[in-house]
Copies of this chain bind each other. A is one copy, B any other.
């Protein structure tokens, strides 16, 4: 019904996360209507990213520089390494602005269900980084899911012999949450990890 160029674009847009054919059709229609204010700027922004953004060979972050600006920064604590699942998690940490160390992006977590093995992740270089960069603390900030916890324990088994201090994010009741709305597992965990005041 629409031209093949439009159909092809709808298909490409529908492949993006959280979008289906229906929302893709709406998006493409809006782009067609707002050619100069939306379609052309979007193409330019995409092309800019495609041309300039590289994956940092050291930590796995996305940046215009290679290695990335976090890896080369002299104002950051080079002795602490935060291991995260994805660049999105790195961005979340950076939004908070509290962490001043460096990162190691895995690009996923181990998953028996989805067939993700250690070879699929940016894991092989981690023990080497710890040795080369004389890392003193590795913070494993992986998701609090089963796969995330399995990955945490896998990494721990691989790096504990190096004698580096390994920590993980505290688990418990999130800020602002009401007990009534928390799941049983979280309440139990928060209770067993209770702290003295």
Chain B residue numbers with a CB within 8 Å of A53 are: 3, 5-6, 32
Per-residue interface assignment for chain A, residues 41 to 71, with 1 indicating a CB less than 8 Å from any chain B CB and 0 otherwise: 1110111111011000000001110000000
A17, CB-defined interface residue at 8 Å: yes
Per-residue interface assignment for chain A, residues 1 to 45, with 1 indicating a CB less than 8 Å from any chain B CB and 0 otherwise: 111011011011101111100010111111111010011111101
A87, CB-defined interface residue at 8 Å: yes
A147, CB-defined interface residue at 8 Å: no
Instruction: Out of B26, B46, B62, B87, name the residue touching A88 (CB < 8 Å).
Output: B26
A86, CB-defined interface residue at 8 Å: yes
Chain A residues touching B, range:
35 or more
A95, CB-defined interface residue at 8 Å: yes
CB distance from A28 to the nearest CB of B (A): 7
A46 in contact with B42 given A30-B17, A88-B25, A91-B1 (CB within 8 Å): yes
Instruction: Check B43 against A9 for contact (C-beta < 8 Å).
Output: no
**In the assembly, what is the distance between CA of A86 and CA of B31, in Å?**
13
Instruction: Check B26 against A49 for contact (C-beta < 8 Å).
Output: no
Chain B residue numbers with a CB within 8 Å of A35 are: 50
A45 in contact with B91 given A27-B16, A38-B15 (CB within 8 Å): no
A120, CB-defined interface residue at 8 Å: no
